[in-house]
Amino acid sequence: MQVSLFHFCFFREQRKKLSSLEMQLSAAKQESFVTKRLPGNGRKQPTKKVLAVIGIMTTFGRKKNRNAIRKAWMPTDTAMKTLADQKGITVRFVIGKSANRGDSLDKEIETESSQTDDFIILDNQVEAPEEKAKKIKSFFIYAVDKWDAEFYLKANDDVYVNVDALGGVLTSYLDKPRVYIGCMKSGEVFSDPTHQWHEPDWWKFGDGRSYFRHASSDVYVISKALAQFISINRHILRTYAHDDVSTGSWFIGLDVMHVDERSFCCSSSSTGALCAAV
């Protein structure tokens, strides 16, 4: 009974936080522009809100992938600014730091970043395969603090994203304050330690056979309120073996709209796909 009461109180507090965030979002959406104060004269000038921030998860030794993305769909130089100004979409590669701080791996990324200016380098996040879920959480925390966006999107560095199609999909959900969009799945939980997709905490998932509903790791989107929820509760949101499962777990018990958007299924060859594996 004590455990049930704990969970009841926990979720009640989270609902209160979400309600507060929703009121803030509702007030912001009464205007199509945000304002910034011009230095010196005190006047305000309208500035377009950010529609979406796209974080492309990359790692060391993947420069060829990054260059391929830059050539295929990620704008560079002035085109990057044009995309942000005209369509409200910001795109950045996301990477952590080497466990051996300041080594050749870090220096290579710093050099590349100085040339392209298209990185988010997470200073407090170690770049390692077993840290992927924590890295995703760190990205959402960083992005929601830096950009006042309606949506935050996570993508892998081996997928092609149709930015024009993305904008169309996202604008159709502007009136949904707590939306989680992606190629939804459940998937099998593997308890065998020798399996590639082993889940050490397999016993926590009901019968130990299936995960809860969550978006595939290739590409998924969360709305501003959910990104803020992650940021506020960063210290108590745990991570699992897989980053997509971890993200889905953070929204269990919340009143979240799960959108199974099939155009986000990057391995699909169906017409109108928003992304594709490369």
Range of 161's domain?
Answer: 49-177+216-232+262-277
In a domain, 172, yes or no: yes
Other C-beta atoms closer than 10 Å to the C-beta of 167 total 16
Specify the pLDDT at position 226.
98
pLDDT at site 57:
98
pLDDT, residue 36, reads: 35
Sign of the four-CA dihedral 168, 170, 172, 174: negative
> Which residue, among 169, 163, 198, has the nearest Cα to 182 in the 3D structure?
169
Whether 49 contacts 114, CB under 8 Å:
no
Per-residue model confidence (pLDDT) at position 277: 81
User: What local confidence, expressed as pLDDT, does residue 141 receive?
Assistant: 98
Residue 40 included in any domain: no
Give the helix/strand (H/E) hosting 59. Answer: none
How many domains is the chain built from?
1
- From residue 70, alpha-carbon distances to 1, 79, 155 in Å are 55, 11, 14
Q: Specify the pLDDT at position 136.
A: 97
Here the CATH number for the domain that contains residue 83 is: 3.90.550
pLDDT at 35: 32
Is residue 26, in this structure, part of any structural domain at all? no
The pTM (predicted TM-score) of the whole model is 0.80
Beta bridge partners of 89: 52
Mode of pairing for the β-strands spanning 89-97 and 50-57? parallel
What does the pLDDT read at residue 211? 81
- Domain contains 246: no
Assigned domain for 272 exists? yes
Residue 8 in any domain: the answer is: no
Tell me, yes or no, whether 137 lies in a domain: yes
Q: Is residue 7 part of a domain?
A: no
Give pLDDT tens digits along the chain (278 positions).
Answer: 444 454 545 555 665 556 555 545 443 443 342 333 334 434 444 445 799 999 999 999 999 999 999 999 999 999 999 999 999 999 999 999 999 999 999 999 999 999 999 999 999 999 999 999 999 999 999 999 999 999 999 999 999 999 999 999 999 999 999 999 999 988 788 777 887 777 877 767 766 677 888 999 899 999 999 999 999 999 999 998 889 999 999 999 999 999 999 999 987 555 457 888 87
